[in-house]
Amino acid sequence: MTTAPRNAPMALRVAPMALRLALIILLAALVLAPGLFEPVFAPIAPVGGPVIYTRSSLLSLSLSHLGLVAAASLASTIVAVTLAILVTRPAGEAFRPLSRSITNIGQTFPPVAVLALAVPALGFGVGPTLVALFLYGLLPIFENAMTGLTTLPPQVLEAARGTGLSRRQRLWQVELPLAAPVILAGIRLSLVIALGTATIGSTVAARTLGEVIIAGLLTSNTAFVLQGGLIVGLFAALLYDAMVQIERRLARRMGRS
Amino acid sequence: MIEIDRLTRLYDGKPACDAVSMTIETGTITAIVGTSGSGKTTLLRMINRLVEPSSGEVRINGTPTHSEKPHLLRRRIGYAIQGHGLFPHHTVGRNIGAVPRLLGWPKDRIAARVDELLTLFSMDPSEFRDRFPAELSGGQQQRVGVARALASRPDLLLMDEPFGALDPIIRTRAQDDLRQIQRHLGSTILIVTHDMDEAIRLADRIAVMDAGKLVQYGTPAEIIAHPATPFVAEMVGEADRPLRLLALLQVSELAESGPADGPEIAPDATLRDALSACLWSGRESLPVRGTTQRVTLEAIRSRAGAHA
Ligand SMILES: Nc1ncnc2c1ncn2[C@@H]1O[C@H](COP(=O)(O)OP(=O)(O)O)[C@@H](O)[C@H]1O
Ligand SMILES: [Mg+2]
C-alpha cells in the first residue's frame, strides 16, 4: 500500500485509502463478530466439526497478543537504541563489534529454542514468550539505529558543534531526530516479525492468537488455522502500513524524501 | 580585538598550522587565503576550539579562549561553513534562532531578531520564516546559514569558504551582501577562502598561508603591490596585478577637472570599471557623474604602472 504521488489521478489517490479502510473493517469483523464468517469458513472445516473458534473471545486473545508484542518491542527498542547510541559515541566505539555479535546471536537463535530454554527458568506463560520476542526484535532495530546514527550529514554535525550545542543537546536535538525515520523502519520490521512470532507463544501457554492456529492444527481444522492466520496477517499489514506513513511524514519534514 | 598567538597544531608530528600569530581589529573583515591543505581550516577551527591547539593561544578582547568550556565559547563565536549545514528538520526561523535559544533569550526577542536578519538578507520574513531548508534555493540556504551565524551578535564570525558552493553570479551577490551587512552591524569577520578575488573584494586585511605558515599579513593593496614571497605573488597572479590594484581604487581618487564626452561613470565605480569603459568605447576620458570632472585613460595607466 503505497501513497500515490500528489499529481496522480483521483482514483489512484483514493484507492490506497479505500483498501486500508476495507482491511480495517474486515479485521474488526473477524475479531468482533466471527460468527458472520461461518458460511465462508464452513467449506474448509471438518464435516460436522466447529467452524468458528469460540473457546475464548478472539478480542481478548487479540488484545493479549498485541499487548505482548508491544511490551516486547518497547523493551527491544529501548535496549537496541540505547546500545546503538552508546557504541556510536567516541568512548563506546570499541564495543561496536561486540554489540553487533550479541544482537546477531539474538536474531539467529530460533525462537522455538529460546522458548524451550526459557521455560525451565521462567515457567510456562508470558515470561518465555516475552524473552523470545525481545531477543528476536533487537537486531533490526539495532542495525537501523546504527545506520541512522552513523550516516548523518557531516556538515550538519559540524554546524551543530559550531553553534555551541553540548553533546547531550546534539544527541537529542539533532542526531536522534535526524536518524528517527531510519530507526522507525527498524522498529517496523521488528514489530512485524514479533506479531508473527508471538503465535508460537501459545505452545508455552501464553495467551496469543496462536491458540486459534494451534487448536486448528491439533484437530485438523483448517478453518481455525485460516481464521487465526488471517487475523495475525491483517494486524501485521495494517501496522506495517501505519508505520510507513509515519516514516514518510517524518522524512518529508526533514527534506530527506 | 582578536589576538592569535603562536597558534600551532600538529597532526602525526607534522604541523598543519605552524606558529601563526596575527591580530585582528574589531569591526574588520580578515580573509585567510592559501592553496588547499595550507592549514586555513585548521587555523579557523582552533579559534572556536573545534580543533584543540597543540600549542599557542587565542585571546578575544584579552580573555584566552581556553578559559571557557568549548560549547559555551562557541555560542559567542558565529560559525558558517560551506554547504551551510542548516538543521534540515528545523524551520528557517528555528535555524536562525539556534544560538539565541541556547543563550536563553526570550521568545519574542528571538522572533524579532529572526525577522530582522531575514529582512537584512532580503528574504521576506512572512514568506521564509516557517519554511524548511529543503524548500530554499542554494543561495537562500547560504544566506540563512550566515544569518544563523550572526544571530546572537557574536564577538567574532568565522566563515570557512561560505560561498564555495555557489555559482559565480550568486556568489558575487552574496559577497556584496556580506560586506554591506558587516558594515551595518560592525561585525568582526574572519573568512577562509582559496579565492584571491574573493579576499580582495571582501577583506580589510588578507592573511596568506602556505604549508601551515603565515607568509604575509597586510591590506589588499600591500599584498598586491608588494608580495612578500614568490608564493604570494603567484596567488595574486602576476599578470592580473595592475587590474587587481585598479579594482581597489575608486574613480573619485583620480578625478580631475577637464572636459569629457559620452556616458558618465559613477564616482564610486572602480578604476578597473573606468579602464574597461575607456577601452570598450574607445574614449580617452570619461565624465564623472554628479561633477564637472573627468577621469582620463592616461591617469589610470600611470596609476596602474606606478607599482610595476
Ligand atoms: N583531522 C586531521 N587529521 C590529520 N591530518 C589533518 C586533519 N585535519 C587536517 N589535516 C592536515 O592538515 C593540513 C591542513 O589542512 P586544512 O587546515 O584542512 O587545510 P585547508 O583548509 O587550507 O585546505 C592538511 O595537510 C591536512 O591533511
Ligand atoms: Mg579548508
Tell me the average pLDDT of chain B. 91
- Asked if A155 has any chain B CB less than 8 Å from its own CB, the reply is yes
Asked whether B132 and A255 are in contact (CB, 8 A), the reply is: yes
A235 vs A5 pLDDT, higher one? A235
* Fold classification of B244-306 (topology level): CBS-domain (3.10.580)
Q: Interhelix angle for A58-87 vs A126-150, to 10°?
A: 40
* B15 vs B185, higher pLDDT: B15
HSE of A101, CA atoms in CB hemisphere, 13 A? 3
pLDDT of residue B118: 93
The total domain count for chain A is 1
Inter-chain touch A255–B75, beta carbons under 8 Å: no
How far apart (Å, rounded) are the C-alpha atoms in residues A229 and A63?
15
Query: Which pLDDT score is estimated for B138?
Result: 87
pLDDT of residue A4: 54
Nearest CA to ligand 1 atom 25: B37
Give the model's pLDDT for residue B171: 85
Domain that holds residue A248: 3-256
Q: What is the percentage of chain A residues whose pLDDT exceeds 70?
A: 95
Q: Quickly state the pLDDT bin for B93 (edges 50, 70, 90).
A: very high
Is the predicted pLDDT of residue A193 greater than 70, yes or no?
yes
Range list for CATH 3.10.580.10 in chain B: 244-306
What's the mean per-residue pLDDT of chain A? 85
Contact B2, B190 (CB under 8 A): yes
State in Å: Cα B39 to ligand 1 middle.
6
Q: What residue's CA is closest to ligand 1, atom 14? A: B39
**What does pTM read for this prediction?**
0.82
Provide the pLDDT confidence category of residue A74 given band limits of 50, 70 and 90: very high
Residue B117 backbone phi and psi in degrees, to 5: -70, -40
Size of interface A-B (CB pairs under 8 A): 66
Higher pLDDT, B76 or A7: B76
Nearest CA in chain A to B72: A164
- Answer yes or no: is pLDDT of A1 > 50: no
Q: According to the model, what pLDDT value does residue B237 have?
A: 82
Determine the pLDDT at residue B241: 81
Tell me the Cα Rg of chain A.
22
Residue A7: the pLDDT is 65
A66 CA distance to ligand 1 middle (Å): 54
pLDDT at position B12, please? 93
Contacts 24+ apart (CB under 8 A), A223-231: A223/A41, A223/A42, A223/A44, A223/A45, A223/A51, A223/A52, A224/A53, A226/A41, A226/A44, A227/A30, A227/A34, A227/A37, A227/A41, A227/A52, A227/A53, A228/A53, A228/A199, A230/A30, A231/A27, A231/A30, A231/A31, A231/A58, A231/A62
Which residues of chain A are within 8 Å of residue B102 when distances are taken between CB atoms?
163-165, 169
Average pLDDT rounded to a whole number, residues A57-67: 88
If one residue of B10, B41, B45, B194 were mutated to test the ligand 1 pocket, choosing by the most ligand atoms within 8 A of its CB, it would be B41
B214-219 mean pLDDT? 95
Which pLDDT score, from 0 to 100, does residue B193 have?
93
Confidence band, pLDDT 50/70/90 cuts, at residue A225:
confident
Judged by average pLDDT, the poorest of A27-41, A188-202, B88-102, B140-154 is A27-41
Q: With bands split at pLDDT 50, 70 and 90, how would you rate the model's confidence at B308? A: very low
The CATH number covering residue A185 comes to: 1.10.3720.10
Q: Does residue B173 surpass a pLDDT of 90?
A: no
CB neighbours of residue B221 within 10 Å: 15
Domain with CATH 3.40.50.300 in chain B: 2-236
Query: What nine digits make up the cell of B205?
Result: 586585511
Q: Region A171-185: what's the mean pLDDT? A: 93
| C-beta of residue A82 within 8 angstroms of C-beta of residue A149 | no
Q: Which residue has the higher pLDDT, B99 or A34?
A: B99
Q: What percent of chain B has pLDDT over 90?
A: 60
**What is the average pLDDT across A136-155?**
91
What's the distance, Cα to Cα, between the start and end of chain A in Å?
Answer: 17
Fold for domain B2-236? Rossmann fold (3.40.50)
Residue A121 has pLDDT above 80, yes or no: no
Q: What is the mean pLDDT of residues A160-185?
A: 93
Strand-pair category, B156-160 with B189-193: parallel
Distance between CA atoms of B205 and B6, rounded to whole angstroms? 19
pLDDT digits (tens, 9 = 90+) for B254-293: 889 988 888 999 988 889 999 999 998 989 999 999 888 9
Instruction: Say whether A164 and B102 touch across the interface (CB within 8 A).
Output: yes
